[in-house]
Amino acid sequence: MLTIAGHIFKSRLLVGTGKFASAEVMCRAIDASGSEIVTVALRRVDLGDPADDIMQVLDRSRYVFLPNTSGARDAHEAVRLARMARASGGGEWLKLEVTPDPRTLLPDPVETLRATEILVAEGFKVLPYINADPILALKLQEVGAAAVMPLGSPIGTNQGLLTRFQVEIIIEQARVPVIVDAGLGLPSHAAEAMEIGADAVLVNTAIAGAGDPVRMARAFAQAVEAGRAAFEAGAGRRQSRAAASSPESGLGFLR
Amino acid sequence: MKIICNGEEMVAKEGETLEEFILGLQLNPATVVVECDGRIVLRDEYTQITLSEGVVLELIRFVGGG
Distance of CA A76 to the CA centre of its chain: 24
> Rounded mean pLDDT of A195-199?
98
Active-site annotation holds for A95 = yes
- Determine the pLDDT at residue A90: 66
Q: What are B's interface residues with A at a Cβ cutoff of 8 A?
A: 5-8, 25-28, 30-33, 35, 40-43, 58-66
> What pTM does this model have?
0.91
pLDDT tens track for A115-144: 999 999 999 999 999 999 999 999 999 999
What b/e string do you get for B33-66 counting C-beta neighbours within 10 Å, with b at 16 or more?
bbbbeeebbeeeebeebebeeebebbbbbbbbbb
Q: For the ranges A49-53, A162-166, B38-42, which has the lowest average pLDDT? A: A49-53
- Cβ B61–A53 below 8 Å, yes or no? yes
- Cβ B27–A45 below 8 Å, yes or no? yes
- Whether residue B53 lies inside any domain: the answer is yes
Please state the domain count of chain A: 1
- Whether residue B36 lies inside any domain: the answer is yes
- As a whole number of angstroms, the distance between CA A28 and CA A31 comes to 5
More confident residue, B1 or A188: A188
- Cβ B6–A44 below 8 Å, yes or no? yes
By C-alpha distance, the chain B residue nearest A15 is: B66
Please state the domain count of chain B: 1
- Neighboring chain A residues of B42 at a CB cutoff of 8 Å: 87
- Which residue from B47, B12, B64 is spatially nearest to A18, judged by alpha carbons? B64
- Neighboring chain A residues of B28 at a CB cutoff of 8 Å: 53, 55-56
Of B8, B25, B65, the CB nearest to A18: B65
- Cβ A40–B62 below 8 Å, yes or no? yes
- Whether residue B38 lies inside any domain: the answer is yes
For residue A176, pLDDT over 70 is answered with yes
CATH of the domain at A224: 3.20.20.70
Q: Write down the ipTM of this complex.
A: 0.89
pLDDT tens track for A149-162: 999 999 999 999 99
Domain assignment of residue B44, given as a range: 2-60
- As a whole number of angstroms, the distance between CA A187 and CA A14 comes to 13
CATH of the domain at B31: 3.10.20.30
- Neighboring chain B residues of A155 at a CB cutoff of 8 Å: 66
- Neighboring chain A residues of B63 at a CB cutoff of 8 Å: 18, 40-43, 52, 54
- Whether residue B65 lies inside any domain: the answer is no
Q: Would an 8 Å CB–CB cutoff place A49 in contact with chain B?
A: no
Q: Would an 8 Å CB–CB cutoff place A65 in contact with chain B?
A: yes
More confident residue, A14 or A254: A14
- Whether residue B23 lies inside any domain: the answer is yes
pLDDT tens track for B35-65: 999 899 988 899 999 999 999 999 999 999 9
